[in-house]
Amino acid sequence: MDYYSLLGISRNATPDQIRAAYRTAIKKWHPDLNRDNIPLSSLITSQLNEAYRVLMNPSERKQYDQSLGIHDGMSNSEEKGRYTYTRKETVIRNSRGSSSRLKEVERIESWKNTFFSYMARHKWASSIYASIPEKTRTRIISGSSDLSDIMRLYFKIEEAKVRMGLSSAYFNLMQLEKYREEQASNLDVTFTVVSSLEAILQFYIRIRGGIIENELLNSYELSVEKKFIQIHKYLVKHPNDLFQAIERFKISKEDWETARGFIR
């Protein structure tokens, strides 16, 4: 498990940054606040506690960093390969094609780190995880899963992202047909409206899906993100009020260009 990814911090994070990230994550995942999914929240909480304990202890953090390859000039990929092999060598030695099995194990371990970090930031993703069969969850957690388990879960997550878009109240065939009829004499307006609605929806899906990473955005981009979240939520309740919404949330030409830049 990559503790830095789990907490959403860089590998040179200060103790204060580690503490702040831990407090944010633990508040989100405490079992008392997730009674509908206690097994998963308990698992992630225990991982967060372990990450905090290790990274806040200088000597343990040094040892942990070494296990990730952050020492003596050794590349992370080289060390990761050696570390993963050590953890899985029994499985690898007893299987045919040890080289290919090693690569598969590395891919699964890498994906698991990414996925559990993603779940820690997005509760909707954890609900997808909770919906898969218990045997599959057990295999993934225990490290005995194969690529088919991982792909099955990945497809479920992608399907959920699509459904978030298709369930929109303002971007659907009936709504778009209505705009076409209203602007029958001016196709330019129709195309502008439809492309604007699509931009709002696609930007929101990327935000909600975690595809856009907030820690990489500057202050202006964060302000645009906030505007588009607001306009999306407004249009869900008022699907006919696009122009009023644009005026209400003061979406400028530069805001549109920034948003479209994220969905290209």
Q: Where are the alpha helices (DSSP H) in the chain?
A: 3-7, 15-29, 38-55, 58-68, 76-93, 98-121, 123-131, 134-142, 147-166, 173-182, 187-208, 219-237, 242-248, 253-263
Structural domain boundaries in the chain: 3-159, 173-263
Supply the pLDDT for residue 182. 72
Average pLDDT over residues 32-40: 66
Tokens 């698991």, residue located? 112
Q: How do residues 132-171 score in pLDDT, each as one tens digit?
A: 888 887 777 766 667 677 777 777 777 776 666 555 677 7
Instruction: Give the model's confidence band at 221: pLDDT under 50 very low, under 70 low, under 90 confident, else very high.
Output: very high
**Least confident interval from 3-7, 80-84, 96-100:** 80-84
> Which of 68, 65, 98, 70 is CA-nearest to residue 84?
68
Task: Give the pLDDT score at 88.
Answer: 37
Q: What is the structure's pLDDT at 228?
A: 93
Instruction: Tell me what percent of the residues of the chain surpass a pLDDT of 90.
Output: 16
Is residue 124 within 8 A of residue 148, CB to CB? The reply is no
- Type of residue found at 97: G
**Per the confidence metrics, is the pTM higher than 0.85?**
no
pLDDT in tens, 165-196: 555 677 777 777 777 777 666 667 777 887 88
Nearest to 108 by CA among 137, 172, 151: 151
**pLDDT for residue 92:** 35
- Region for 132 from its dihedrals, namely left if φ exceeds 0, alpha if ψ lies in -120 to 50, beta otherwise: beta
CATH superfamily name and code, 3-159 = DnaJ domain (1.10.287.110)
Give percent of the chain above pLDDT 70. 71
Please state, in angstroms and rounded to a whole number, the distance separating the CA atoms of residues 66 and 44. 24
